[in-house]
Structure 1
Amino acid sequence: MSTRAGVRAVYPGSFDPFTLGHLNVLSRARDLFDEVVVLVAVNGGKQPGVDEEQRAAAVRAVLPLEWSSVTVAAWRGLTAAYCHRHGAKVIVRGVRNTTDLQAECRLAAMNQSLGVPTVFLPARPDLVAVSSTAARTRGT
């Protein structure tokens, strides 16, 4: 009988703000992997309201205390570079629709070429319309 080390996954995003949809994807990722790092990243194409350290603190504040297998980190750089540096074996991404899936497939191909595969988790039907952009617009 062989034993293997726990699998660490990274769930990257700008999380501006962290929504119920993000929380649901994270909850399901916890069931699949031994550890999950919520990687609050800088996306040059987005203009967040606060910096990545503040967004990371906001994510930490909403995570249930009993989720001890989940950590939160702020990062400036490629997600694959973080994975290699911190021993993460897989990237987790949530997808709401075919538009998300097309964009995510392009990112997944790039990350795969850098040696890190991606797992897609589809949004729960009642959370498909939830987006950070909409939450910011509403001010919630």
Structure 2
Amino acid sequence: MKCLRIFSTSDGESHFDEVDLPTSPVAVHPDATPFEVTASYPASRVRMTFIPAGMREVSWHTVPEPVLTVRLNGSVEYETSDGDKRFVSAGSYVLVEDTHGKGHLSRHSPEAQTVLWISLPNGLTLPEA
């Protein structure tokens, strides 16, 4: 399963990357057909955010901690400090890990949006067993 990622390098520049999350087939109950599921990642909190209609652009910013954003509706275009841009539509998720440096720019679609922010202390890295 692929996940778009925004991260910062030691020089403070932000970039895009793609994380490949391994999955395995899991049946959620005895009669269910198995479907692909990732491992469980520790999360410290979940926040539901409402972005009002008309909030078009959020200036350059970083995140205080690694956050997996899950866009329930609307869309956004992210831009990293290296000039790369990515369009993210409803139903998509992005791991945002640029906790230092120049940050990223967010350009929101004109309609109101709901986005889940899931704080992941270790990003998408699993703790060692």
The structure in which a higher percent of residues are helix is 1
The structure in which a higher percent of residues are strand is 2
> Which has the larger Rg?
2
- TM-score, normalised to structure 1's length? 0.24
- TM-score, normalised to structure 2's length? 0.25
